[in-house]
Amino acid sequence: MSIFFSHDTALEHLRSQAAEREFPLCYAVPRHDVPRGAALADAGLHAFGIHERPYHVLVADAASRGKSQLVRSHVCAAAYPPGSFRRLTHDLYVSSPELCFLQLAPSLPFGRLALLGMELCGGYALDADDSEGFRRREPLSTAAALRRVSQRFSGVKGAKPARLAARFLVDGALSPMEAAVVLLLCAPTSRGGYGLAPPVLNAEVRLTRSSARWPASRFCDLYWPARRLAIEYDSNRFHVGANRIARDASRRAQLAREGVTVLTLTWDQVRDVTQFHEVALLVAARLQGGFRCSRSDWASRRAELRRQVLPGRRLDW
């Protein structure tokens, strides 16, 4: 029988190393029955990075739902278009990154949903087995694709929060902290952000004064090309040697010769609300002449956004 994994189970697969293999995207229709334990045991799920129970699966209609400690069933919210599922085997399917984003939207607050979107269209995946808490990988989707899907299913549950979060996604984050900083700076003030224009992530800046000694280009974590402004995030700023400090200084000097202002942002600055606010004001002054917000509850909304996108314990992101 065909099995269609969705929601949290789909996300578990998408975060696994198995998801980095090429799987065809296809059109398929979920069945009317819930998969049984024997069918799941025979499916070889571990090979596709699926371990956690209960398994989240799609069924065709409400009459097909069943209760089980092994399976949690979800009714198809719409007639899904071609490309909505990854075909893992001839009878095993999993929601595409875009469909998974839409499926999880009703259960996640704005900040966490946007952070998930940044992960799906970024070059990293959360990984509890990695010492840093994440690993590098190729993007699974794009911000534009997540926006298209959230707009296409306008009447489906979760489409509204998905559309809102997708508006503020930026391609190319290489770490959870890069993604978090983007959201803290660029989310609307109604959600606790500073409402700033989105940067280009990990942008290549060509150096006109390159030589055999200096490279032809440098990469900036966050870059606003129109304002020649860059932010470099350094997770280990206070745990580096003299050589690293010298290399960073040389790098900033090279960019300064090109007219690029580089702000260095550390984890200690990010986690301290006052220090981060000072950096955000500097960026706002450079981008739009300053930060203005008339909302009386903005500080509390900012605190809530920070709770949603920053780690609860120290990680060297």
Q: Exposed e or buried b for every residue in 113-147, given b needs 16+ CB within 10 A?
A: bbbbbbbbbbbbbebeeeeebbbebebbbbbebbb
Give me the amino acid identity at 292: R
Show Cβ contacts of residue 130 under 8 Å, excluding neighbours closer than 6 positions. none
The predicted model scores a pTM of 0.91
Q: What are the tens digits of pLDDT across the range 196-246?
A: 999 999 999 988 865 556 677 889 999 999 999 999 998 764 445 666 666
Under the banding of pLDDT at 50, 70 and 90, the label for residue 109 is very high
- State the residue for tokens 């092994």: 70
| Sign of torsion over alpha carbons 237, 194, 110, 21 | negative
Give CA–CA dist 159/59, Å, rounded.
Answer: 19
| Sign of torsion over alpha carbons 106, 112, 113, 119 | negative
Model pLDDT, residue 159: 93
Model pLDDT, residue 107: 97
Give the start-to-end residue ranges of the domains of the chain: 3-109+139-163, 168-309
Q: What are the tens digits of pLDDT across the range 44-69?
A: 899 999 999 999 999 888 767 777 88
Under the banding of pLDDT at 50, 70 and 90, the label for residue 315 is very low
Pick the CATH number of 168-309 from 3.40.960, 3.40.50, 1.10.10, 3.30.1490: 3.40.960
